[in-house]
Structure 1
Amino acid sequence: MAKKIKKSQVLRHIVQLIMFFALPGLYAMAFNETKTVYKMIIEGNFNFLQAFPSLIEFVAVMLVTILIGRWFCGWICAFGAYNDLIYFIAKKVFKGKFKIDEKADSILKYAKYVILLFIIIVSWTFGSSILESTSPWDVFGQITNVSTIVNNLLIGLILLVLITIGAAFIERFFCRYLCPLGAVFSIISKVGIMKINKPKADCGKCRACTMNCSMGLPL
């Protein structure tokens, strides 16, 4: 079993690496298309067939989430890969693993839902432009365009730096606590087809799986 897990992890990291360089902006595209769908629905002009060509990323990602859960987060998301890379380097440098309190961890995981709700209300519903320069994933997707980042996304750059620091100490820091798209996936995956089946009813009590899970999910 350990060898199978190791092989799947190697494959996952290879896919992550490819997506990191090939499609670093896929996260931003999927999130922006989520916004497009929401606005079309509340404005009462949602026509799926007409809108489909501009929603390919959104449709593909949501279908994958419904079928096999949050596969996008662990395998495809370049921003998730970035968090993994920072944590891997930091663990090698500092020779240790920062432990966050279990209760604090469970509470902080709700922060991403608050962030998603805030974005939906302030930006998507009322159309405020106050958040336009604050997107760390937009900075990440345009990381080589220094002038655009400094001139238009300075707050987003500062947030990306803070997220990087957090990712160095807490595995998948952004994914666990701050990712609004992850909040969407978490909700959608509730109706997912594939589930984790516990071999025994009392599985999970030892917390071995939770301790080894990069997201610290309870079994």
Structure 2
Amino acid sequence: MKKSESKSLRQRVQLFLALALIIIIILYNLYINEILDFKILSIADLNPYGGWNALREYVTDSSYEFEGINKSIALTIAILAISVLGGRFFCGWLCPLGAIQDLGAWLSSKIKISKHVKINKKGHNPFFIKYPILLSLLLISILGYGAVIAELSPWRALLNLPRLFSAWAEMKIGFIILAFVFLASMLLPRFFCRYLCPLGAAQSLFSSLSLTSLKHSKTCHSCNKCLEECPAGLKFLKESDSISPECIRCLNCVEQCKIRNESRAYLSLFNKKVSKISYFALMSILFVVLWIGMPKLWVRNSYDGNIILGTLKDGAYQGEAKGFAGKIITEIIVEDGKIIEIEIIDHHESKGWYDEAFMVIPKEIIKKQRLQVDAVSGATKTSKGLLKSVESALKKAK
């Protein structure tokens, strides 16, 4: 495969995924606004921190019951699993924030705003800022302030970009950080990946155990000509035949050596060379199988309320319960012994994750006249909080 062909493969993959993501987000917003009655995926299904949220709840909440593997949890597992097998493949090929940064670097080279900043390195990134950030975010989340740090997420902002104007008041910090990520990438390729991304830091830690490594041949003199345009700013070290776990596996360097025909960088799996096409196919298939397939193996996503709906007294009743970010206060209206309306009076849930739960669950309760309805995938904590809030209101109507 020629160099231009190798590089364009990743660009085509990123373009395809960007278009697919745009379609998914547009359809989801039409679904939320009740213009369409179907969706491909929920925005919550695209939350890569779902697995961590479930683990945190299991450890810190004694009342937590594992409800199975939803797409958000499966996404976390898939990202980390392919990191162990193939390094940071997700960062280099699949991550939408990575694609945004590559677009910024490409735009900078085309309009020549400035030359890319060059940082002197000795084979790896010397500023491990993202690791303290990862640790800090985990601790803050464990202490119960996950909703606060969610406001800072450029990932959430990117998924809600079509609602920029309507969501600005609630998500302006995330949108500003997203804009900063794009602008910074015009000065330094993959700036966010290198220095700030907590998900990238987690993948680098798992990538240090990777079964696939990027190596150079024994005759290589570590001139690093092949890494002159490395988006992660990495170099081969003379004392090591492989590259840092910070490598995002873009594979731009896996080409014929510019100096000597017999020397080149290559991918190694179990000490055997692997072609770029084989690597891409293996990682892509594994990722899709884990993300899409795992939720089908174990899902139990319904809420079993303690209330058995019988004859309800007519009137308006309020209830409250804890959701993901705080109290969810609801009001139910009962007429002729039946629930005819459910309104969310107050809440502090994170926009972009709660929308579907607040739209779907009240309708299902009213339609079925019972609380045994499915929680929304990827927004389980919010869903359960809403259902428990309605349950507390129903207790007053019994």
* TM-score bucket (shorter structure): 0.7 to 0.9
Q: Structure 1: how far apart are the matches of 2:15 and 2:125?
A: 29
Equivalent residue runs for 1:1-219 within 5 Å:
3=2, 5-23=3-21, 29-40=46-57, 42-43=59-60, 51-54=68-71, 55-94=73-112, 97-103=115-121, 106-108=125-127, 110-122=128-140, 124-128=141-145, 129-200=147-218, 203-204=221-222, 206-219=223-236
The one-character-per-residue Cα deviations of 1:40-78 (angstroms, maximum 9, x if unpaired) are 453388998x53234221222222222111111111111
The code of the aligned residue for 2:4 comes to K
- Identical positions, percent: 28
Normalized against structure 2, the TM-score is what?
A: 0.48
Instruction: Out of 161-170 and 146-155, give the one that drifted further.
Output: 146-155
Q: Structure 2: how far apart are the matches of 1:23 and 1:35?
A: 23
Q: Structure 2: how far apart are the matches of 1:75 and 1:94?
A: 25
Partner residue, 2:298:
none
Q: Structure 2: how far apart are the matches of 1:53 and 1:85?
A: 31
Q: Structure 2: how far apart are the matches of 1:100 and 1:27?
A: 37
Higher relative contact order (CA 8 A, sep 6+): 1
The answer to whether the 8 A contact 1:30-1:61 is kept is no
How far is 1:147 from its partner? 3.5
Gaps of 5+ in 1: none
Moved over 4 A (4+): 24-28, 44-48
Gaps of 5+ in 2: 26-42, 237-398
Structure with greater proportional helix content: 1
* Change in 2 beyond 3 A, CA 1:95/1:153: closer
* Change in 2 beyond 3 A, CA 1:117/1:148: farther
How far is 1:106 from its partner? 2.8
The answer to whether the 8 A contact 1:20-1:77 is kept is no
Q: Structure 1: how far apart are the matches of 2:65 and 2:5?
A: 43
Q: Structure 2: how far apart are the matches of 1:164 and 1:27?
A: 23
How far is 1:6 from its partner? 2.4
Q: Structure 2: how far apart are the matches of 1:190 and 1:158?
A: 32
Counterpart secondary structure, 1:130? helix
Q: Structure 2: how far apart are the matches of 1:191 and 1:107?
A: 20
How far is 1:149 from its partner? 3.1
The answer to whether the 8 A contact 1:139-1:149 is kept is no
Q: Structure 2: how far apart are the matches of 1:136 and 1:65?
A: 22
Number of residues of Structure 1 aligned to a counterpart in Structure 2 = 213
The one-character-per-residue Cα deviations of 1:143-193 (angstroms, maximum 9, x if unpaired) are 101244312111111112222221111111111111110001100111111
